[in-house]
Chains A and B, each alone.
Chain A
Amino acid sequence: MNQTAMKTQKMGKDSDSSVLLNLVELVTFKMQGEDYAFYIRYVDTIIPVLGVKITRVPKSAGYIKGVINLRGEVIPVIDLRKRLKFETREFTDDARIMILFFKEEKTKCGILVDSVSEVVRIPESDVSRPQASWAQGGGLESSFILSIGQRDGINKEGEPHRQLIIVLDGEAIAFGKKQG
Chain B
Amino acid sequence: MLKNLCRRETLTVTGEIIDVIFQTFDLLEKLVKDAIEGEDSVSAEEYEEAIKTIQAAAGPVKDQPETITDMSSIEEVVEEKPPKPEDKPEAAKAVEPEVKPAEVSKEVPAVEEKVPEDAATPSAPTEREVIEDNVNMEEMEQYMGMYCDGANEGIEEMNKLLLKLEKDQSDIGIFNDMFRSAHTLKGMSATMGFNRIAYVTHEMESLMDKCRNQEIELNPGIIDAIFETFDVLEKLVQESIDNESSDLDFYSVVDRLKALSCGDAVAAVKEAVPDKGPDLQMEYNEFERQVAIQALRQEYHCFMVYVRLIHDCLLKSARVYMVVRALEEQECEIIKCDPSSEELEEEKFDLDFRIVVVTRAEKQAIYDSVDSVSEIDKLDVTNLDETYFTGEAPQPQEKAPEPAAVTEVKSPEKKEKKATPEKTERKSTALVVKKAAAAPATKAAVKKPVAKKGGKKAIPTTIRVDMRRLEELMNLVGELVTNKTRLTEVVQNERIRLKPIKGAGDLKELTEVLERVNMITGSLQEVVLKVRMVPIETVFDRFPRLVRDLSKKLSKKINLVIEGKETEMDRTVIDEIGDPMVHLIRNSIDHGIEDPEIRKNEGKDETGTIVLNAHHEGNNVVIEIKDDGKGINPEVVGRLAVERGMYSEEEIAAMPVSDIQKLVFMAGFSTADSVSDLSGRGVGMDAVKAKIEELNGQLLVDSRVGEGTTIRVKLPMTLAILQALMINLQTETYAIPLSMVLETVDIYLEDINVVQHQEVYVLRGEVIPLIRLNKILDVPIIESDDSDVAREEESEGDDEEDTEVGEISIVVCSNGEKKAGFMVDNLIGQQEIVIKPLGQILMGLTGLMGATIKGDGSVALILDIPALMESK
The finding on whether chains A and B are genuine partners in a shared complex, rather than unrelated, reads: yes
State the A residues within 8 Å of B (CB): 53, 55-60, 64, 66-69, 71-76, 78, 105, 107-109, 174-175
When distances are taken between beta carbons in the complex, the residues of chain A under 8 Å from B853 are: 69, 72, 74
Nearest CB on B from A32, distance (A): 24
Tell whether, in the assembled complex, residue A67 and residue B840 are in contact, meaning their CB atoms are under 8 Å apart. no
Q: Which residues of A contact B777 (CB under 8 A)?
A: 58-59
Are A107's CB and B840's CB within 8 A?
yes
Query: Can you give 7 A-B contacts (C-beta < 8 A)?
Result: A56-B732, A57-B842, A59-B847, A69-B857, A69-B859, A72-B479, A107-B839
B841 within 8 A of A: yes
Decide if B856 is an interface residue (CB 8 Å cutoff): yes
Q: Which of B827-872 contact A (CB under 8 A)?
A: 836-842, 845-848, 851, 853, 856-861
In whole angstroms, how far apart are the Cα atoms of A74 and B835 in the complex? 10
Residue of B nearest to A175 (CB): B841
Q: What residue of chain B has the Cβ atom nearest to residue A55's Cβ?
A: B859
Chain B nearest CB, measured from A5 CB (Å): 34
Q: Taking the complex as formed, is B779 at the interface, i.e. its CB lies under 8 A from any CB of chain A?
A: yes
* Interchain CB contact under 8 A, B732 and A67: no
- Which parts of B801-848 form the interface with A (CB within 8 Å)? 836-842, 845-848
Specify which chain A residues have a CB less than 8 angstroms from the CB of B839 in the assembled complex.
74-76, 107-109
Cα distance, A105 to B843, chains bound together (Å): 13
- Per the 8 Å Cβ criterion, residues 89-119 of B in contact with A are none
Contacts of B840 in A (CB 8 A): 105, 107, 175
A76 and B838 contacting across the interface, CB-CB below 8 Å: yes
| A145 CB → nearest B CB, Å | 20
**CB distance A55 to B778 under 8 Å?**
no
Q: Which residues of A contact B846 (CB under 8 A)?
A: 59
Does B475 belong to the interface (CB within 8 Å)? yes
Scan residues 452-489 of chain B and give those whose CB is less than 8 A from a CB of chain A.
475, 478-479, 482
Question: In chain A, what residue has the closest Cβ to B482?
Answer: A72
Nearest Cβ in chain A — how far from B122, in angstroms? 39
Contacts of B482 in A (CB 8 A): 72
Beta-carbon contact of B847 and A55 below 8 Å: no
Query: In the complex, A34 Cα to B533 Cα: how many Å?
Result: 55
In the complex where A58-B777, A59-B848 touch, is A53 in contact with B841 (Cβ < 8 A)?
no
Query: In the complex the two chains form, is A67's CB within 8 Å of B857's CB?
Result: no
- B838 pairs with A67, CB closer than 8 A: yes
List B residues 385-415 near A (Cβ within 8 Å). none
Q: Which residues of B contact A (CB under 8 A)?
A: 475, 478-479, 482, 732, 777-780, 836-842, 845-848, 851, 853, 856-861
Which residues of B have CB within 8 Å of A55?
A: 732, 851, 858-861
> When the two chains form their complex, are residues B845 and A59 in contact, meaning their CB atoms are under 8 A apart?
yes
- In the complex, the answer to whether A174 meets B778 with C-beta atoms within 8 Å is no
Please give, as numbers and ranges, the residues of chain A lying within 8 Å of B856 by CB-CB distance. Answer: 53
Closest 7 CB pairs of A and B: A53-B858, A58-B777, A55-B859, A74-B851, A74-B836, A107-B840, A76-B841
Given A53-B856, A55-B858, A69-B859, CB of A107 within 8 Å of CB of B841: yes
- Residue of A with least CB distance to B479: A72
Q: A64-B842, A109-B841, A175-B841 are in contact. Are A72 and B858 (CB under 8 A)?
A: no
- On whether the beta carbons of A58 and B847 are closer than 8 Å, the reply is yes
Measured CA separation A57–B859 after assembly (Å): 10
CB-based contact B848/A69 at 8 Å? no
Indicate whether A72 sits within 8 Å of B478 (C-beta atoms), given known contacts A53-B857, A174-B841. Answer: yes
Residue from B780, B853, B856 with most neighbouring chain A CB atoms (10 Å) = B853
In the complex, which of the residues B478, B848, B858 contacts A57, with contact meaning CB atoms closer than 8 Å?
Answer: B848
Contact B859 A74 (CB under 8 A): yes
> B842 is contacted by which of A53, A67, A69, A105 (Cβ under 8 Å)?
A67
Contact of A74 among B837, B845, B847 (CB under 8 A): B837
- Complex Cα spacing A35 to B761, Å: 57
A58 to B772, CA, bound (A): 14
Known: A55-B860, A57-B861. 11 other contacts (CB 8 A): A53-B857, A53-B859, A55-B858, A58-B847, A60-B842, A69-B859, A72-B482, A74-B837, A76-B842, A108-B839, A109-B841
Q: How far is the CB of B866 from chain A (nearest CB, A)?
A: 15
A147 to B233 CA separation, bound complex (whole angstroms): 57
Within 8 Å by CB of B778, from A58, A71, A105, A109, lies A58
Residue of A with least CB distance to B731: A56
Q: Which residue of A lies closest to B732 (CB)?
A: A56
Q: Report chain B residues within 8 Å CB of A105.
A: 840
Residue of A nearest to B776 (CB): A58
CA A73 to CA B850, docked complex, whole Å:
12
B475 surroundings in chain A (CB, below 8 A): 72
Residue of B nearest to A58 (CB): B777
Chain B residues lying within 8 Å of A78, measured Cβ to Cβ, are 841
CA distance A58 to B860 in the complex (A): 12
How many angstroms from the CA of A75 to the CA of B838 in the assembled complex? Answer: 7
Known: A53-B857, A56-B732. A67 touches B845 (CB 8 A): no
CB neighbours (8 Å) of B860 from chain A are: 55
Q: Which partner residue on chain B sits nearest A67 by CB separation?
A: B859
What are the residues of chain A within 8 A of B780 when measuring CB–CB?
56
Measured between C-beta atoms, what is the minimum distance from A110 to chain B in Å? 10
Partner of A69, one of B732, B838, B847, B858: B858
